[in-house]
A and B are shown apart, each in its own frame.
Chain A
């Protein structure tokens, strides 16, 4: 089992550009959550997807959007990138409302 895989691992974008990050959940998991982790801080919840629908959303602007595919994989899209969007973006998967969430290694996004 490959666990949760995220791509790419590192990314550099220019302010104003758009970015798409990808996540493949652990085998058998149907729920995907995305988190943003700024340097020196704990991860902050962006949103969660279940059955291809956004089930819950954190306090992030509409520039952050997502999608879940029928195979449960997910994408996080960020439009009009700001310097403050530079962070580690983490994907976590779980089976429905099970207790344990598994995290990927993250995508390090740098906006210049």
Chain B
């Protein structure tokens, strides 16, 4: 499988627990994005990495949220002390720097990780 892989696909947790999602991007893509999507809405930007550097972070990302991409390959998104409002689909996408500037259409999304907080 050469696409963007996200795990787990679905996580059900109790309020107050910590959860971690993993994203494995396309191997040659150096840019990685996390988005959050709630029911009936379009995705909202959370954060963006170029290689291992986290270059942009939305104000939506409270201090309970942390994202890492330690070796510039896979990324993790951790939510601490989950709240019911965190229930959403968490989407990861990756792209290539060179393809972005050439105009090639290579933004690739994973299938998402659905979080349900009870």
A binds B: no
